[in-house]
């Protein structure tokens, strides 16, 4: 069995080693292929840099990665990396794609914009079991908690097929002893950060980011994460509603 590990924080993120270690211990052969630089907010973009028609890829070790694991820096968005992997661009087609561990939570309907989640959704559309993992901190201190949850989740998805869905996992940045557990969680109305657009005096469009009220939806993924729970949310990749009644053209 083969696993691809990617992210949107870039090849220098220690979160890659967390997922690679979990996949190795679960019995997977692991390849790390992550963006050469941070690609946060890339969603499912298929942007990449080419040279003479070839995707730009170079060997570069992610920090803390176990010896013997192939590690590549790719000048591409995370979803394109997953797409290329699905077409055997980095070796055998993966049986599993792990995306993360992202620095910062990916919750609410804002997951639409996440490069971490976008990579997992891209893999799912190609029939690959896919899990996105994020930790609720800009500079995480407790990677061991993220590893604990990832180990548990990997055992779960190997026993329970996701059936065309992507598993999005968020972990609080706390010690394992303070972790309350793992809960199924619906998406919050937005996420932990929301963008607002307004015009300045020169009528230029200005984009501002502000934190949302974490406690306004206590049973959502954001609310549960804030209260010390790790959360698991199943996301559907592009889905067609077959029951739509379309009016006939005259």
Provide the pLDDT for residue 216.
Answer: 72
Q: Can you give the pLDDT of all 250 residues of the chain as single tens digits?
A: 999 999 999 999 999 999 999 999 999 999 999 999 877 777 777 777 765 667 899 999 999 998 899 999 999 999 999 999 999 999 999 999 999 999 999 999 989 989 999 999 999 999 999 999 999 999 999 999 999 999 999 999 999 999 999 999 999 999 999 999 999 999 998 755 555 555 666 666 555 545 555 567 899 999 999 999 999 999 998 878 788 889 999 8
Provide the pLDDT for residue 204.
Answer: 63
Q: Count Cβ atoms below 10 Å from residue 78 Cβ, excluding itself.
A: 36
The pairing of strands 57-59 and 96-103 is unpaired
Taking alpha carbons only, the member of 55, 62, 69 closest to residue 7 is 62
Instruction: Name the phi and psi angles at 167, rounded to 5.
Output: -95, 120
Provide the pLDDT for residue 108.
Answer: 93
Maximum pairwise Cα distance, the chain: 66
The pairing of strands 193-199 and 205-211 is antiparallel
What three-state secondary structure class fits 215?
A: helix
What three-state secondary structure class fits 64?
A: coil
Facing residues of 131 across strands?
98, 167
Helix 15-25 vs helix 143-159: angle between axes, to the nearest 10 degrees?
40
């Amino acid at each position: 069995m083969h696993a691809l590990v990617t992210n949107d924080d870039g090849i220098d993120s220690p979160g890659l080693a967390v997922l690679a270690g979990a996949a190795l211990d679960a019995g997977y052969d692991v390849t790390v292929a992550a963006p050469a630089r941070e690609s946060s907010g890339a969603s499912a973009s298929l942007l990449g840099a080419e040279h003479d028609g070839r995707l730009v890829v170079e060997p570069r070790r992610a920090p803390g990665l176990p010896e013997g694991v192939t590690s590549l820096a790719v000048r591409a968005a995370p979803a394109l990396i997953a797409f290329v992997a699905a077409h055997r661009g980095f070796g055998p087609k993966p049986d599993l794609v792990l995306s993360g561990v992202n620095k910062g939570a990916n919750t609410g309907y804002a997951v639409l914009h996440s490069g971490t989640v976008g990579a997992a959704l891209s893999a799912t559309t190609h029939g690959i079991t896919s899990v996105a993992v994020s930790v609720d901190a800009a500079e995480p201190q407790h990677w061991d908690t993220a590893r604990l949850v990832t180990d548990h989740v990997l055992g779960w998805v190997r026993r329970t097929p996701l059936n065309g869905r992507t598993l999005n996992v968020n972990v609080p940045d706390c010690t394992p002893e303070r972790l309350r557990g793992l809960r199924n969680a619906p998406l919050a109305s937005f996420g932990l950060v929301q963008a607002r657009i307004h015009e300045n005096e020169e009528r230029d469009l200005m984009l501002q980011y502000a934190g949302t009220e974490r406690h306004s939806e206590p049973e959502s993924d954001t609310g549960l994460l804030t209260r010390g729970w790790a959360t698991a949310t199943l996301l559907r990749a592009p889905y067609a509603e077959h029951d739509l009644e379309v009016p006939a053209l005259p």
